[in-house]
Chain A
Amino acid sequence: MYQHDIGKRSAKVKNVVERGAVKKFAEAVGDPNPIYWDEETGKRSRYGRNIAPPTFPRVFDYGVIEGLKLPAKGLIHGEQHFHYERPLFVGEELYCYAEVKDYYEKQSSMGLLGFLVIANNGEDADGNLIFTSTSTIIINEAVRKAMSV
Chain B
Amino acid sequence: MTTIREWQVGQSLPDVTLAPVSRLDLIKYAGASGDYNPIHTIDEEAKKAGLPGIIAHGMWTMGNLAKLFTSYYEEGFVQDYFVRFQSMVFLNDVITLKATVKEKDDKAIRFAVAAVNQHGKEVIKGEAVFSLYE
Contacts and interface: CB of A to CB of B under 8 A. Distances in A.
Interface in B47-98: 49, 58-60, 62-64, 66-67, 69-71, 73-74, 77-85
B73 A45 contact: yes
Given A58-B59, A80-B59, A31 B64 contact: yes
Interface residues of B, number: 33
A110 interface: no
Interface stretch (A19-27, A99-107, A120-128): A19-27
Interface in B15-34: 18, 25, 28-29, 31-34
Contacts of B29: 28-29
User: In the complex, which of the residues B35, B58, B73, B74 has the most CB atoms of chain A within 10 Å of its own CB atom?
Assistant: B73
Contacts of B82: 79-82
Contacts of B70: 31, 33, 35, 53
B66 A81 contact: no
Given A46-B133, A78-B84, A80-B83, A27 B73 contact: no
Contacts of B67: 29-31, 33, 53
B85 A78 contact: yes
A72 to B, nearest CB: 10
Contacts of B81: 54-55, 81-82
A83 B80 CA distance: 5
Contacts of B34: 58-59
B84 A21 contact: no
Nearest to A30: B64
24 contacts: A24-B28, A25-B63, A27-B28, A27-B32, A30-B67, A33-B70, A35-B70, A35-B73, A46-B74, A51-B73, A58-B59, A77-B85, A78-B85, A79-B82, A79-B85, A80-B58, A80-B59, A80-B85, A81-B80, A82-B78, A84-B78, A84-B79, A87-B73, A87-B77
Interface of A: 21, 24-25, 27-31, 33, 35, 45-47, 51, 53-55, 58-59, 73-74, 76-87
